[in-house]
A and B are shown apart, each in its own frame.
Chain A
Amino acid sequence: MSNSAASSKSVIWDWITTVDHKKIGILYFLTGLFFFAVAGLEAILMRIQLMFPEMSFLGEQTYNEILTMHGTMMLFFAAMPIFFGFMNFIIPLQIGARDVAFPFLNNLGYWLFLFGGIILNVSWFTGGAPDAGWTAYAPLSSNSPGHGVDFYVMGLQVSGIGTLMSGINFLVTVINMRAPGMSMMRMPLFTWSSFVTSMLILFAFPALTIGLLLLMLDRIFGGAFFDVGLGGNVVIWQHLFWIFGHPEVYILILPAFGIFSEVIPTFAKKRLFGYTAMVFATLIIGFLGFMVWAHHMFTVGMGPVANAVFAVATMAIAVPTGIKIFNWLLTLWGGRIRFTVANLFALAFIPSFVMGGVTGVMLATSAANYQFHDTYFVVAHFHYVIIGGSVFGIFAGVFYWWPKMFGYRLSEAWGKWFFWLFLIGFHLTFFVQHFLGLMGMPRRIASYLDGQDLNDLNFISTMGAFLMGIAFILLVINVFISRKNTTNVNDPWDGRTLEWSIPSPVPHYNFAQTPLVRELDGLWFEKMNGDGRMKAAEPLDEIHMPNGSILPFFIALGLSIASFGVIFTSWIVIIVGLLVTFAAMFIRSIKEDHGYHVPVSEIKADQEVEK
């Protein structure tokens, strides 16, 4: 990196100002894992509280705060950022690009996400976290005393802006930045599902933005949206929230589907069965995701017509999901299946997710939903799809792409211990919760009375949660003890897609020469029909790269300062914060930065080292 501006500055400065999609991806990924650990700890605290009836381990108010934070953190600040980490790192590599379309916005998106997470968690130290559940139903949320819910509103608003930017960024990247020959229907499924995910983000998040705006206006600026006495309507919040919220659950599951569609073919050594059907199933799931939000509201009193329509629409989603499951099974059929840790998670996903999927159809049965709704049955269902789907996807991706991202392989032996403990703990925790729900245990209760036949299953559930916690510690240990496994990291799994055609760790310009893609699974095609290396689509030439910038950090910082101003209703702080943001945006707008060029000599030197 001889003429990169970053080389002379410190490492920290480099990471703060980086516009390299790989570094931003790693930042997202590691921050997400950290928040995952925090939210996981909160889950374990909740399960300790519920281990025995009438426990006083946490206290009701604290319990409600922890339950709110667990959900909010897991969805917005753990699962999504970890997927953003993968998307950032992998999408440009899979489509043969040197970066995303908007490196500057990419950096900004990260800082908005991080500051949003910090704002949310500062609430613990300023009189209490939000306590109205991650769904923050009005008027419980709009009347909640203290500042907790204000932190929820501003934290999500700030990070939501970043999420929206990242979504647009990925959409444009996929459409405009593909290498020659990489047509849409040759894109790896992970890129495809990330593309659909970004589409969902684009059309879902603005509804949340407005919901949060209304809540903020009601709580802080005297609005009357949710004030029934002034003609407000509290159900509006639920509609806005779920118009966002239901696509959100597909935002969480589609990237995982993408990861499984990479991992399963790789370890079965077979092309993905029914690629076209998989792509269209993904698109249909994404589309239907916007049509079914009210199935979260069957008990709100929308009337039988709405309930029936939304019930049938929801059931319809089972069809494309079923198509996907069978396509994965048929990909395995006739293959040569290797049971690596990455593949174990992908394989464990199939039965686990099917179990979560069938309870989804049961929940969609509106008349029966009156019994399921807001009980532990629902808790069991969505943990089956989120852990059995999204989290297994994350762990499959962790073991699969770790060598590409960090240049060393995680230990398979430790990984298998981790996998089995986590899998058993997961089923132990959540399988029994189906029954708890039907036996009369509502969700979100801080404790339960003795003598209701709920004690034994709750105890079992808590034991499962402990197992999952121990398993996660094994993963962390694995990360540290495996650091010497730096051999065979370029293409350790005999990969099929473009990211395995370049060295690990990946050079900052990704591809010395833009590759020419001749088939789906481009690298596999070259392995079977060529010399095992991607053909180049251009002569070796100097490469244009963007410069890093500190401005995104200040844009995000300014918005965070303004958020604190809003939370504590201080106009001076709001104005100062916005001034910082607008000044940084202004500088960005008037200062043209055309990046720098990587000379051929440097690229050649890198290639020599590689050999």
Chain B
Amino acid sequence: MENLTALDPRGPVAEMQMSLIQLSLYIMIFVIVIVFTIYIFVLIRFRERPGDTHIPKQVHGNRALEFIWTTIPILLLLLLAIPNVMDTFTLADTGVPEEGVDEALLDEDEAVEDYLVVQATGHQFWWEFEYPDLGINAGQDLYIPTDTRIVVELEASDVIHSFWIPSLAGKQDNIPGITNDLWFEAPEEGIYAGKCTELCGPSHWLMDFKVVAVDPETFAVWAENMAEPDEELTEPSGEVAVEGREVFENNCIGCHAVGDEGSPTGPNFTNFGERTVIAGFLEYNEDNLHDWIRDPESLKPGNDMPAFDENTISEDEMDSLIEYINDLRVLE
């Protein structure tokens, strides 16, 4: 499984959060140890023994003790509250100058040199990633360069979703009508699992995405080909794939785009052949792709994709369509 757990952070944001979690955990373990020690002592020492009928002394209270167990927790909490407040502000500052602010006026250390803005829009039940500065629209897979600050602007088209990459960054909500942002960095190349964490309908549990971190050079190639796919890349490689393109143009292009051909209603297909999963969760192979196109509803209830039965796309056409889709790649 690619990096999923928040317990093994792979980037500075998740690391910051993990160290805060650890700090809070250590303080809390300290508290637990004290309480449990008193607790166990009391239960053993003051349990009723057979034949014991004495009436215990009726104690009213103890000012000194009450003062101690009021102040010490306050101090412990301050120990946690201060770094938390600092981290909260650090995480809220994407480092991107706001519109209208003259960049020259900003402090040098406030401005971040290298950053990439991505708009992540949550749909029931898939993710759309737009790169406004690069003119790219991608579906499901968020390609990023390593060692670059990624600033994600979060939006939603239907209901509230929440954008979470456990091993890279904690989550923020995608809310209709509101734009939130968060930032993260991935120093290492790799695939990181992302999830929707706000209940958004029946297939909430299948609303996964991938973050694919590649080195900056590879990313440049990817970005160039995504924005303006090379003739070589978009042209189907064989006769079957040419037929497949025809099937695609007759049936799919109303929702899925390849390059700038087609509609952005559904996930963009320009680099579909490079996905590791279909529809966010199905292992990428021809059988699954076939089953998905035939009956998406049974695999991912509540999603918007219509089913294509054999009257619409015959088995032969399906084979060529799959061949064509498999061919849609930008990184080779």
Contacts and interface: CB of A to CB of B under 8 A. Distances in A.
Contact of A322 (B6, B69, B178, B202): B69
A549 to B, nearest CB: 43
A234 B176 contact: yes
Contact of A140 (B43, B60, B73, B200): B200
Contact of B55 (A269, A333, A358, A368): A269
A452 B17 contact: no
B195 A442 contact: yes
Nearest to B200: A140
Given A299-B172, A442-B164, A307 B66 contact: no
A277 interface: yes
Interface string B96-117: 0000000000000000000000
Interface residues of A, number: 87
A318 interface: yes
Interface stretch (B31-39, B239-247, B249-257, B308-316): B31-39
Contact of B171 (A299, A339, A350): A299
Interface string B135-173: 000000000000000000010001110101010011111
A444 B175 contact: no
A146 B221 CA distance: 48
A351 B36 contact: yes
Contact of B1 (A60, A143, A312, A451): A451
A443 interface: yes
27 contacts: A61-B301, A234-B176, A268-B56, A270-B57, A270-B59, A299-B170, A299-B171, A300-B173, A301-B180, A304-B93, A307-B88, A308-B85, A308-B89, A315-B77, A319-B73, A322-B31, A322-B73, A323-B66, A332-B46, A361-B77, A367-B91, A368-B17, A371-B166, A373-B171, A439-B5, A440-B6, A452-B4
A301 B91 CA distance: 11
Interface stretch (B20-28, B225-233, B268-276, B323-331): B20-28
Interface string B64-90: 011001100110010011001101111
Interface in B289-309: 301-302
A371 B24 CA distance: 13
Nearest to B161: A140
A-B complex: 8 closest residue pairs judged by Cβ atoms = A370-B170, A445-B205, A228-B177, A358-B28, A301-B180, A367-B87, A60-B202, A304-B92
A563 interface: no
B197 A443 contact: yes
B16 interface: yes
A367 B21 CA distance: 9
A375 interface: yes
A453 B4 contact: yes
B73 A367 contact: no
Contacts of B11: none
Interface string A438-480: 1110111111110111000000000000000000000000000
Contacts of B62: 273-274, 330
Chain A binding surface SS class = helix
Nearest to B201: A140
A326 B69 contact: yes
B160 A139 contact: yes
A174 interface: no
B35 A329 contact: yes
B77 A318 contact: yes
A232 interface: yes
Contacts of B92: 303-304, 307
Contacts of A59: 301
Interface string A341-384: 00000010011001100110110011111110111000000000
Contacts of A446: 202, 204-205
A145 B46 CA distance: 59
B196 interface: yes
Among B31, B58, B84, B200, max chain A CB count under 10 A is at B58
B217 interface: no
Contact of B20 (A329, A333, A368, A445): A368
A303 B92 CA distance: 7
Nearest to A304: B92
Contacts of A183: none
B159 A140 contact: yes
Task: Give the bracket for the number of chain B residues in contact with chain A.
Answer: 35 or more
A372 B4 CA distance: 14
B142 to A, nearest CB: 16
Interface string A321-335: 011011101101111
A208 B201 CA distance: 23
A332 B177 CA distance: 55
A367 B59 contact: no
A60 B301 contact: yes
A273 B162 CA distance: 46
A327 to B, nearest CB: 8
Contacts of B181: 301
B118 interface: no
Contacts of A275: 60-61
Contacts of A304: 88-89, 91-93
Nearest to B195: A442
B84 A311 contact: yes
Nearest to A64: B202
Interface string B168-209: 011111011110111000000000010111111111110010
B98 to A, nearest CB: 13
Interface string A219-253: 00000000010001111000000000000000000
Contacts of B332: none
B180 A440 contact: no
A337 interface: yes
B74 A301 contact: no
B159 A143 contact: yes
A586 to B, nearest CB: 44
A137 B4 contact: no
A139 B200 CA distance: 9
B5 A140 contact: no
B59 A271 contact: yes
A529 B178 CA distance: 68
A365 B202 contact: no
A435 B93 CA distance: 29
Given A446-B205, A451-B1, A300 B175 contact: yes
Interface in A518-553: 528
A275 B58 CA distance: 12
A484 interface: no
Contact of B25 (A139, A271, A362, A371): A362
Given A132-B199, A140-B160, A326-B69, A367 B54 contact: no
A336 interface: yes
Contacts of A118: none
Given A273-B59, A301-B178, A337 B197 contact: no
